[in-house]
Chains A and B, each alone.
Chain A
Amino acid sequence: MEGVSPVATPRLRRLSETLFSRLIFGLPGAGFATMLLIVGTTLWLAGRSQQFSALVNHTYQVETQVADLRVLFERTEAGRRGYLISGESFYRDVFDQTWRQIPPAIDELARLTLDNAAQRDRITSLRPQMQILMQQMSLSVERARTGDLEGGRKLFLEEANGPQITGIRQLLSEMQNEENRLLALRNERQVSNARLLMGVVTGAGALLAVLALSSLLIMRRYARDLQRSQAELQVLNRGLEEAVRERTADLTRANEEIQRFAYIVSHDLRSPLVNVMGFTTELELASQPLKALVARAETVAPEIVTKEARAAVDVDLPEAVGFIRASTQKMDRLINAILQLSRQGRRTLRPERLSVRRVVETAATSMRHQLDEKGAVIEVEGDPPELVSDRLAIEQVFSNLIENAVKYLKPGRPGVVTVRGRVQAGRAIYEVQDNGRGIDPKDHERIFELFRRSGAQDQPGEGIGLANVRALVYRLGGTITCESELDRGATFRLSLPLSMAPEQGIAA
């Protein structure tokens, strides 16, 4: 970063705005999607796991049932053997007890293994074998019970190593093996399911971690960019303030210079004008004796009076003097106008609270004579807002606008000048409206320029009033516009700050 001007920081270094916004919304979105995926997968896997453990439990149950049946069977057999060998009734009781439990145990096992075709087949082949064996067993025990122990033993020895016992044992261990196989298989499935669950959670966790980390990195980078931009902005801002201050100083200086210039020019222009006027009069005075001389010569010696001499004295000289005088007087008025404007610009404004109604009424009073003469009235509509501004300037603005309105009324139409005002967006808006002869729209800007006038030049004036008004309004921090059509009256609209900012410069 060092050595690179902050203003010229290449854009490449920064995340582009679009990329950033894509990332800032994309990363949490991806995170959220991952979470959803994890939850879904976990739910699914948990469901599977539950299913698997139910199966495992079932297998255990079957296995237990098989084992129970086996024990019952062996105990029955052991009870019979014990009885047949010893003749002890204890063994017979064991036999009696267990022998009866075998059929329900087989039924229970059949119920449990309904879902397994292979086991079902085994039970189907188990049932007849068991029935035969149990008949033989019960036969041998019954014989012994009736006292023929020997007969019982004989029967026992006959069938002891018969196919039923081995067959039953074979079937039961097959069933046990089958269940063991199933158990191993189901356990295996459950383990892999758990492993899968762990894998998914671990993977998703890693993905989340990556997402979080990259979000964090992007945020950090963005924050850094933001900080840098702010620092740059601050620098630029400071530069801007400085520039504004310099420009303002320049403008103030330029303005002061113009004021001084206008002032000096008008004074220095006045000086030669005094001569022109003075000597014009002297010329006139000097032409009197000449005129008398010519007149006398006419009577005394008419032949020496030429036509040219008479014309010079009677027409040319007075005419020339008249033109010089008129032009000089006009020039004097123009210079005075410039001087007045320049003075206006040099005067220090003093803001104070003003009632515009009173200002207008004062102006109307001072114009009473003109108003009576023209049969015009001035009306203040509603309650125009008060404002804090320079009294003299405001008085001048309003009296100028009202004077103008009265001056350019339409002959033959009773003049009405209306002043109204309102507050709009923190500024005071005033309107001076008349029903006079109006102003051609193409002149709406021109009338505010110095020495420019509009319409029929049938009223005295130099085109100073509105220029002065606009200069004043600008100085007060306001604007003025004109709205008018020929023959339809005119409305001058002023927009002024409700409270004038105290002045900083340009004191005379």
Chain B
Amino acid sequence: MTDHKPVTIVMIEDDEGHARLIERNIRRAGIFNEIKHFRDGSSGLEFLFKADAGPVLNGPALILLDLNLPDMSGTDILARIKGHEVLKRTPVVVLTTTDDKVEVQRCYDLGCNVYITKPVNYEAFAEAIRQLGLFLAVIQVPEAAP
């Protein structure tokens, strides 16, 4: 990643287990960036838009987004992110159980950068996350502060 500021990984995921598994596998892939985990949409948005350490005010970030959240739909969050002048450049990886074609299309239309379906088969899941980790290790993330 960039040398200047470490990229924060913002994970919005309501399922504790999924979050834990994702984190473990990212670490196994050798990615040790800070992972900020939010269990619902509101707190995730709060951090993204308003927190001092959040990407709007400070530092580059990468967002891992689940679509099935208790308080709001993940696509709404995606729309908010991609509608924001600064935040729209932040890469968003949608990581969810839904593999519905229409939903996938909609996310890409809204500006999602990568869409990954969580495989139930754990080996495949772990593999997908590890590859995501490798991917994270090479991609360039824009500096957040203008």
Interface residues, chain A, with chain B CB atoms under 8 Å away: 263, 267-268, 270-275, 277-282, 328-329, 332, 508
Contact = CB atoms under 8 A, between A and B. Distances in A.
B126 interface: yes
A20 B125 CA distance: 83
Interface of B: 15, 17-18, 21, 24, 68, 97-98, 100, 102, 118-123, 125-126
Contact of A273 (B68, B102, B120, B123): B120
Contacts of A279: 17, 21
A267 B98 contact: yes
Nearest to B120: A332
Given A267-B97, A268-B68, A279-B21, A274 B125 contact: yes
B23 to A, nearest CB: 11
Contacts of B17: 272, 274-275, 278-279
A328 B24 CA distance: 21
A282 B25 CA distance: 11
A329 B121 CA distance: 8
Contacts of A508: 102
Contacts of A273: 120
Given A271-B15, A274-B97, A508-B102, A280 B122 contact: yes
A279 B22 CA distance: 11
A271 B13 CA distance: 11
A274 B120 contact: yes
Contacts of B118: 270, 274
Contact of B68 (A263, A271, A275, A332): A271
Contacts of A272: 15, 17
18 contacts: A270-B120, A271-B15, A272-B15, A274-B21, A274-B97, A274-B120, A275-B15, A275-B17, A277-B122, A278-B18, A278-B21, A278-B125, A279-B21, A280-B122, A281-B122, A282-B21, A282-B24, A332-B120
Contacts of B21: 274-275, 278-279, 282
Contacts of A332: 120-121
Contact of A281 (B98, B102, B126): B126
Contacts of A274: 15, 17-18, 21, 97, 118-120, 122, 125
A275 B19 CA distance: 10
A220 to B, nearest CB: 66
Given A273-B120, A280-B122, 12 more contacts: A267-B97, A267-B98, A270-B120, A271-B68, A274-B17, A274-B97, A274-B119, A274-B120, A277-B122, A281-B123, A281-B126, A508-B102
A268 B15 CA distance: 11
Nearest to A279: B17
A275 B24 contact: no
Given A270-B120, A508-B102, A277 B125 contact: yes
A342 to B, nearest CB: 10
Nearest to A268: B68
A271 B122 contact: no
A341 to B, nearest CB: 14
Contacts of A275: 15, 17-18, 21
Nearest to A263: B100
A327 to B, nearest CB: 12
Contacts of B15: 271-272, 274-275
Contacts of A267: 68, 97-98
Contacts of A271: 15, 18, 68, 97
Nearest to B17: A275
A277 B120 contact: yes
Nearest to A271: B97
B21 to A, nearest CB: 4
Q: What 4 pairs between A and B have smallest CB-CB spacing?
A: A275-B17, A277-B122, A278-B21, A281-B122
A274 B125 CA distance: 8
Nearest to B123: A281
B70 to A, nearest CB: 12
A280 B121 CA distance: 11
Contacts of B68: 267-268, 271
B122 A278 contact: yes
Most chain A CB within 10 A, of B118, B120, B126, is at B120
Nearest to A335: B120
Contacts of B98: 267
Contacts of A328: 120
B18 A277 contact: no
B13 to A, nearest CB: 10
A263 B68 CA distance: 13
Nearest to A333: B120
